[in-house]
Amino acid sequence: DVAFAGEFIAKTDVTYKVQWLTKDADGNDKTLKDEETRADGTTGQSASATAEDKVFPGNTYDAASSTDSVIVKGDGSSVIKLYFTVNRHNVTYEITGDVIPEGVTAPTGETNVAYGTEVTVKEDLSAAGYTFTGWTTNDATVVDGKFEMPNGDVAFAGEFIAKTDEIGRAHV
């Protein structure tokens, strides 16, 4: 009789994929932002990736939705998926200055605006006997009354100035 003995040795150069995906503003649709094939997996062993490998402005790593490690399959079909959720911020409006005409209030802002969303600035206010200076902000670049939501809150301020006649008397 002849007996043969052998053993299996796990491959150490198995490929697996790492995918970085972003979720839409509602957290539903996923968009593949980047993909990388790595060839350093060992069959039957764990492989991992970290969120810090890639940066997506205006998005935050979503650990709860992500699979940051897998057991490597010898056929190269293993996939690590790292999800990022778009950040949301607020837009506010405030009347500043020493004069606020009676009955005039700042418009209601917007809450939970997704990064990258186009936002239209609220209409200027008006009051008899006053000039409104318009809505201004240092938090975003406004072009033609619109701006793209940055990765942070946007605060607008505007003020009223009493109209005066030629000799400086207020008309209110």
pLDDT of amino acid 69? 95
Residue 116 backbone class (left: φ over 0; alpha: ψ -120 to 50; beta: rest): left
pLDDT of amino acid 140? 98
The residue among 108, 117, 110, 140 whose CA lies nearest residue 58 is 117
pLDDT, tens digit, 9 for 90 and up, residues 2-37: 888 888 888 889 999 999 999 876 777 788 999 999
Query: Is 38 a residue whose pLDDT tops 80?
Result: yes
The chain-wide mean pLDDT, for the chain, equals 91
Query: Is 170 a residue whose pLDDT tops 70?
Result: no
pLDDT of amino acid 60? 92
- β-strand pairing of 59-61 with 30-41: unpaired
What number is the average pLDDT over the span 138-152?
98
Query: Is 144 a residue whose pLDDT tops 90?
Result: yes
Alpha carbons 66 and 22: distance in angstroms, whole number = 11
pLDDT, tens digit, 9 for 90 and up, residues 46-79: 999 998 888 889 999 999 999 999 999 999 999 9
Query: Is 169 a residue whose pLDDT tops 70?
Result: no
- β-strand pairing of 110-114 with 46-48: unpaired
pLDDT of amino acid 13? 92
Q: Name the pTM for this structure.
A: 0.77
pLDDT of amino acid 168? 58
pLDDT of amino acid 171? 57
